[in-house]
Structure 1
Amino acid sequence: MRHVHLWLRAHPLVFDGLAAAAVALFWLLLLASLVSSGHYWQAAFPLVFVIPVALRSRHQVGVLYATAALGLLALATFQFPHPAILYAGIVMAYSANAYGPRKHARYALALCVAFGIIGGVKWGYLILELTGTSYTLNELTLPNRILALGLSTGLCGAPLVMAWLWGGVVHARHAYLQEALDRASRLESERDALARLAVVEERGRIARDLHDVVAHSLSVVVLQADGARHVLHDDPERADRALEAIGRTGREATAEMRRLLGVLRSPEAASRAPQPDLGQLELLVSQVRASGLPVTLTVHGDLSAVPAGAGLSAYRIVQEALTNAVKHGGPGVTADVSAEAGPEGLTVVITDDGRGAGAADDGAGLGLLGMRERAAAVGGEVIAGPRAGGGFSVRAWLPSRTVVTQ
């Protein structure tokens, strides 16, 4: 039954046709008896109500008042109520409240009440005939006359008012369903917006990774190239090792950039591509050490227990700090990396004995800003600056649990 209702709702013209056919059927029921008794007007006129019922869904307001006008004419001229007219009135009362504008729906209720009162007064004598009494309305006492008129008014108006009320129930249900659909549409739009925001954030993360990879690798390549050029004639073997380091660093940087750019091209690649973590910290230090910067690494605690987000941030912070030491530390600089994992979080300290505050600033570096952003992303912080005795220090604190800032 529910599927039939949904199908009829999706095809209102079919319902209009069925309702108009029902009006014609009620008209045919009394046609022969009215014609044989000589009531030709009452026999023919109810068929006119097929037209407004058939146009119910296409001209809701117009057919409502057209049906009311035709009904008023029937009340004035008919000796008996006709079922075809009553059925047409029921259909129009239901449709006005279920699908019509709210103002006209209220007018339809007023019309239903008015027709019930007028019909009850006009055809009140039918109540007496149904009860089998021989009295007329004028012969009844006042209380009985009021009772008879009340019953006849109820019989005439109740079907119309009940149809109007049922139309209100249908209207409320449709409004609820429409609100649910609108809410679902808004939620879908919000979901898409969040997905787009996630893509933007992911692209920002990848951009920071690209900056770290390129800055670190190019610094190592430049340092090795300068060293190879100075010892090319005096120590060819050392120059060969430097060139080998250049090639290795370039290949690793190329592979890393391809991986990051692959994430941009393919959303599925983000879940497949492994991110660097603290397990690769020793390898990073070895690569920097091979480039000519003496680096020591000290680890306290279990680094494997550090959350993945904090581990990635710590790796990138160490990488950026060592890159800055290579670029700005000057000749003979050494560096030290210390990582301590505790129950509350991870502390990473990177120090060097280079130029420190005396290092030249080209104004193009975003390394310190990137380190602070990475730490803030997991609820941590970075304190960086020149050391009192010379050199530079970077201290990062990354909690075990990500802190969401408002």
Structure 2
Amino acid sequence: MVSVAGMEKLMNVLRIWGAPLTAVVFTLLWLVGEAGRMGPWPGLPTWNGTMPLLLSTASIAVSAWKHYVSLGFTAALLLGQLLGLIPPMEANHWPIYVGSFMALAFIQWTGDRRARVVSVGSNAVFLVLMTILLMAGQYGDGVGWYSSPDGQLLNQSGGEALNRLVFSLWVGVLLLLIAVGFAAAGRTLSLYEERGGLFQDRNLAVDTLRQTEVDLIIEQERSRISRDLHDVLAHSLAVIAAQSDGARYISAGQPQPVLNALENISSAARSALVDAQRVIEGAGDGVAAPQPRFSDVLPLIERMRQGSLKISHTELGTPVELTTGAQVAVFRIVQECLTNALKHGGRGIPVIAHFDWSGPGLTLHISSDVPDTATHQAEEPRQGRGIAGMRERAHLAGGWMSAGPDGQQFRVTVFLPYGMPQDMPDGVGPAIENGAECGGSGQQRDALETAAAAGSGHSG
């Protein structure tokens, strides 16, 4: 059974090639059926039937895309015989007019409303006039339409004249039925295509409605999450900021480090509250929240220093302007690394952050000392959401990232190319990641990083 897609392909092919192929088949069948009786060729010095065949064939061939040209060929055939410019056909040549009705079928299929109406009207006129020609005197004895079985011409008087009229009317009715059949076939194909188009429009409308429902559900979920975040997170951060401010004012006589710590808590809580409100607003209305830039990295490092991390920040080479995606990736990766160092290492943990600008891209090394318990936890064969998020950000910026324990340190190495992602050496990213995920040694990773960065593999 032919599928819907297969039927559509077949219809498209027939729309383009159906008319020319029909014209070729029509001509070949007629030539085979009338072999030896059409001219002018040696021994057959008559055009009878040849010119009508050529005009009918041309009418069929162009009917699918040149509707009015096709009707013009039909009109030329009719006018030519009405004016005597085209010789009348022999008695057995009348089916050649069926070619005009084949052209009518293709016009009914492929034409617009105007072309369909014009084609029906012109073929109706053609049919009536050709029937009249059949009954006209010039289609009598000299043509041989009504010859007797023994080859003798019939007498045109009395009953034979009635037979002549009946025969002409019979041929006219037969041509009418053939014309109606071809027109109905063409119109049926046109309605089938229109029905298919309506089904496609309906399916598109259903898909659009379904997608709209999904978008509405997502928007409702965003609104719910935004309300929950606002009610829980924003409120908690505001309480933390207020409590730390109150503690700082009450503890005015406390040592300066204590006051600094309380001030840092208040400042961090207020900054986090502003960021949370931006994220909540962006999640509610679908607008992207402001993204950090590379210029925000140094203030981030300074804030984390005030949070009792011993951060050593070094740079090599001349800084290069990074793409927006790369700047966001650097900030978020540094933020995640410093947060993890504080979470797993605690206060006073030493952290080294080294930015190497001397290679084809920025190479970022961040290493931190970790206690034995944290080292054992890091050596477990699992990856946290933070590491997966950092790796995804590096990928989106066209680079790669490796992360893993190295002795008493946890090292994160990131490479972000200055240009487009295709500028990165082929195969470097997956090799580094696979090495890290498989627990490769620090020396192996350093060797791969050095090859990838082309001389920028300085470890911080």
TM-score, normalising length from structure 2? 0.44
Per residue, is there more helix in 1 or in 2? 1
